[in-house]
Amino acid sequence: MKKIIAGSSSPMLAKNLAKELGIEIADVSIKRFPDGECYVKLNEEIEYAIIVQNTYPDENIVELFLLQDAARRVANRIDVIIPYYGYGRQDKIFEEGEAISAEKMAKLIQQDADKVILINPHKEHIINFFDVEAKACDAVPAVAEYFKGKVDAVIAPDKGALYMAKKAAEIIGCEYNYFEKTRISSNEVKMEIKDMEVEGKNLLILDDIISTGGTMRKAIEMLKQQRAASIYAACIHGLFIGNADERILQAGCKELVATDTIETAYSKVSVAREITKLL
């Protein structure tokens, strides 16, 4: 019997995935002891387990390991879907003495996994840290479909996210560009879009992660100054640290959209269908 084991971090995605696959969500008990320790229990037999759980924030990492351990004791196969791969930023040694957290996490997760799927990890080469089958799922097509007919161009907040803007624009059928950053002083950075007129256009700013929202807010403000008709902001993983969502909306954003990798009020796009293509 194939079933989805839904961790605490992404219940919406687990439900959407179960619907796409036409399978049930397993009966699982997850609770916290008074001292914060996690307890999990599978309340039914499962032959093929599909675990959906983030590795962010820290408490979800332990929950994932316990869910995997419980599943390994009864299941013949375990697929682990990690919607948001926490600790993915440190994917190499930048300074001597550092830990490579993205690699260490992979080694721990694969101990009880036959297959791992990550949705838009910070760097795609992170999947190479796994010794079991690992795949990266791209949520950009799902986001692009949501904005079809709504925007005239897709803008990346920096050159690093340009590939996302290009892919989304191809699906939507519109222009794409990116903000070029020029450092004016130690505390001032100039952002501008070159070779593209934005006045009167409906624009989508697309990034993989919105954390504190500083870059996104500044991009919105600059496009407003250039008289864009309307500005949408979207991301794959919406962390929205410290009321970042409110600051983005206050900057003049018409709509803020994220996927269900991290469940928030802005999770208007599901990555479930894209995941099913890799299972």
Q: How far apart are CA 263 and CA 148, in angstroms?
A: 23
Told to judge if 181 belongs to the known catalytic residues of this protein, a careful annotator would answer: yes
Q: What is the pLDDT of residue 68?
A: 98
Q: What is the pLDDT of residue 183?
A: 66
Q: What is the pLDDT of residue 23?
A: 98
Residues paired with 255 in a beta bridge: 232
Topology match between the domains 2-138 and 141-260: yes
List all residues 6 or more positions away from 99 whose beta carbon is below 8 Å from its beta carbon. Answer: 90
3-state SS assignment for residue 30? strand
Q: What is the pLDDT of residue 145?
A: 98
pTM for this model (two decimals):
0.94
Phi-psi region of 189 (alpha: psi -120 to 50; beta: other; left: phi over 0): beta
- The one catalytic residue in 181, 218, 224, 268 is 181
Beta carbons of 164 and 206 less than 8 angstroms apart: yes
Q: What is the pLDDT of residue 186?
A: 61
Mean pLDDT per 10-residue interval, the chain, length 279 residues: 95 98 98 97 97 97 98 97 96 96 98 98 95 98 98 94 96 95 68 88 97 94 94 98 96 97 98 97
What the block records as the tokens of 216 is 């996104």
Q: What is the pLDDT of residue 115?
A: 98
E strand or H helix that includes residue 88: none
Q: What is the pLDDT of residue 185?
A: 65
**Fold classification of 141-260 (topology level):** Rossmann fold (3.40.50)
**Fold classification of 2-138 (topology level):** Rossmann fold (3.40.50)
